[in-house]
Amino acid sequence: MDGSYEAKEARWAPKAARPGDHILELGAGIGVITSLLAAVPDVRIWAFEADPASVDLARRVLEANNRHNVELHQGLLTAGEPREFKFFKRRDFWMSSLVEHQGSYDDVVRLVSRDIDAFVRRHAITLLVMDIEGAELELLSQAELPGVERIFCELHDHLYGLGGIQEITAQLARKGWAYDPRGSRGACVLFNRDRSPREYCPESVDA
């Protein structure tokens, strides 16, 4: 209600989207960022969240905001063949993750993943948005993400250090994405395949 929930991501994730995008969101949580993305004209969104309780709440949030261009799934997309994962649910739901050592947890949800590259191809995804509490290191290092033009993600250096950030940026650079400061703020980072220069815009560089 006071606008503090995921405030930086809420401000900058929609700026990464363009009209007509096919958006894949990983770590949809309670659907707040999803709802903001869905307001961009002519976009379609496929949103995934591992926590079934959060998915139920996200559906209510999407309905309350009349967002009918979203397919919401309870599940997990990862790079490679399907595998079983443990998802650790925490009292503060935004801290729930695949990382056991992140802190104490209240429950464990077992999930079988689906291949993200196959999903990206099938739905012609152009923008990937993710906040997956550290799992971005493995995913962005291993997935090819064919056809994806932009990646907006929240980094979690407290889980994998600067070495993990170096690995992410190096692997994405190898696959054609560049760090885009025009759409990045702190740990919320935009990677872009579009290397063309843009006109200077003061709004794009404010704090």
State pLDDT tens for residues 151-187. 999 999 998 999 999 999 999 999 999 999 999 999 9
> Which residue stretches of the chain have pLDDT < 70?
1, 94, 198-207
* Torsion angles phi and psi, residue 166, rounded to 5: -60, -40
pLDDT at 205: 46
Interval 88-102: pLDDT, tens = 888 777 678 777 777
Integer Cα distance of 74 and 49 in angstroms = 5
pLDDT at 116: 98
pLDDT at 91: 79
Integer Cα distance of 139 and 133 in angstroms = 12
> In the numeric block, which tokens belong to residue 106?
């209240």
pLDDT at 164: 96
Place of tokens 């079983």: 84
Integer Cα distance of 182 and 197 in angstroms = 11
Integer Cα distance of 24 and 193 in angstroms = 17
First to last CA, the chain: 22
pLDDT at 145: 98
Integer Cα distance of 23 and 124 in angstroms = 9
List b or e across 132-165, with b for residues whose CB sees 16 or more CB atoms inside 10 angstroms: bbbbbbbbbbebebeebbbbbbbbbeebbeeebb
Strands 114-115 vs 77-78: parallel, antiparallel or unpaired? parallel
pLDDT at 100: 73
Q: What's the full length of the chain, in residues?
A: 207
